[in-house]
Amino acid sequence: MSDSSAPVPAPSSTAATASSPATRFLTAFNQIEGFLREELDARRSDSFTWMVRQLAKRGRLTRSQSDALHAFADLRNAISHGEYRDGRPIADPRPDVVAEISRLRDVLLAAPTVVGVLSQEKIIRFSPATTVNEVLSAIRENGYAQFPVYDDHGYHGLLTTRCVARWLAHDLADNGALDAGTVGDILRFTDHVDRAVLAARSTTVPEILEILGTRDAGGKLPEAVIVTEHGRRDQLPILIVVASDIPALLGAVEF
């Protein structure tokens, strides 16, 4: 079925009151379409389904959201191309469909922030001078796999358990014993997969999901997202978001 790129106005006749299911459906649909167009800075000629596909590719829409929006586009076309009587569509969408598109509109237009969904009681950060023993104790006691490293100038890098393992293997190969070392020593064994992205506390859940799903030039996903007040390197972390948080993030934007 064709996908008209122009918003379909809700029926304006006095017979088509605000309580009309078709009116409520088309109003919600047009609000979603406006949101998609603004997010993509899309042209008026760009179709609704094209915009849905683009945001889905970027990870800004979940699979269920994308599927629902495609179905809503078909229904919108059926309503707009169907028969009208006294300015009102003869075929009204079911109440549960109207409720579903209204919920999805609310999720998209007022997406929760990541700090409103996730919380972290204890954020452990290190400096380049932190000893290896402190790092190993933190891993053993807290079970974390990623730690932000801060120096006097702000964010310095991301320490991961993979990086620690590479350092340990190299250090033990020397004389079979673990020599004293620091985080600075360990960070010499980082590679491009040990990468974090900084984000502001105002970042929404869909935006965080997009960041976590965006590969770098080498085709690697970020290891973590470090959330600070304004996403700046000179600000301390409020939250560390990692891949294991994705189910909770997806749950917050399902409808």
Both 98 and 132 in one domain: the answer is no
User: Residue 30 in contact with residue 10, Cβ under 8 Å?
Assistant: yes
Which residues, at least 6 apart from 198, have a Cβ–Cβ distance to it below 8 Å?
Answer: 155, 225, 226, 227, 228, 231, 232, 233
What pTM value is reported for the model?
0.78
Tokens at 118, concatenated: 């996730």
- The H or E element containing residue 23 is helix 21-40
Determine which of 82-91, 110-119, 175-184 has the lowest per-residue pLDDT on average. 82-91
Please report whether residue 232 resides in a domain.
yes
Per-residue pLDDT, averaged over 222-239, amounts to: 97
Q: Is 28 a member of any domain?
A: yes
Same domain? For 124 and 42 the reply is no
Query: Of 92, 110, 128, which residue sits at a domain end?
Result: 110
* 137 and 235 assigned to the same domain: yes
CA 38 to chain CA mean position, Å: 17
Task: Say what the pLDDT of residue 161 is.
Answer: 95
Residue 10 counted as domain residue: no
Residue 155, domain member (yes or no): yes
- The amino acid that residue 55 corresponds to is L
For 40, the domain range is 21-110
Same domain membership, residue 176 and residue 246: yes
Which residue is listed with tokens 């974090």? 196
Q: Are residues 189 and 215 in the same domain?
A: yes
Q: How many whole angstroms separate alpha carbon 93 and alpha carbon 79?
A: 8
Domain count, the chain: 2
Q: How confident is the model at residue 14 (pLDDT cuts 50, 70, 90)?
A: very low
Residues 245, 120 within the same domain: yes
User: Same domain, yes or no, for 85 and 142?
Assistant: no
The span from the CA of 32 to the CA of 7, in Å, is 10
Higher pLDDT, 118 or 218: 118
User: Are 128 and 67 in the same domain?
Assistant: no
Residues 96 and 158 in one domain: no
The answer as to whether 134 is a domain residue is: yes
Whether residues 122 and 240 fall in one domain: yes
Confidence of residue 89 (pLDDT cuts 50, 70, 90): low
Give the CATH number of the domain where residue 192 resides. Answer: 3.10.580.10
In a domain, 3, yes or no: no
Residue where one domain finishes, among candidates 56, 85, 110:
110
194 domain-assigned: yes
Q: pLDDT band for position 174 (50/70/90)?
A: confident
Picking from 56, 81, 110, the residue at the C-terminal end of a domain is 110
pLDDT band at 7 (very low <50, low <70, confident <90, very high): low
**In this structure, are residues 64 and 14 in contact, taking their beta carbons and an 8 Å threshold?**
no
* % of the chain residues with pLDDT over 90: 69
Q: Using one digit for the tens of pLDDT, what is the confidence trace for 103-141?
A: 999 999 999 999 999 998 889 999 999 999 999 999 999
232 and 129, same structural domain? yes
Average pLDDT over residues 196-224: 94
Quote the pLDDT of residue 180: 67
Summarize the confidence of residues 151-175 as an average pLDDT.
91
Residue length of the chain: 255
Task: Tell me the two tokens of residue 73.
Answer: 């586009």
Same domain, 130 and 77: no
Nearest Cα neighbor of 213 from 56, 20, 15, 43 is 56
Burial 74-93 (b: 16+ CB within 10 A, else e): ebbbebbeeebeeebbeebb
In a domain, 5, yes or no: no
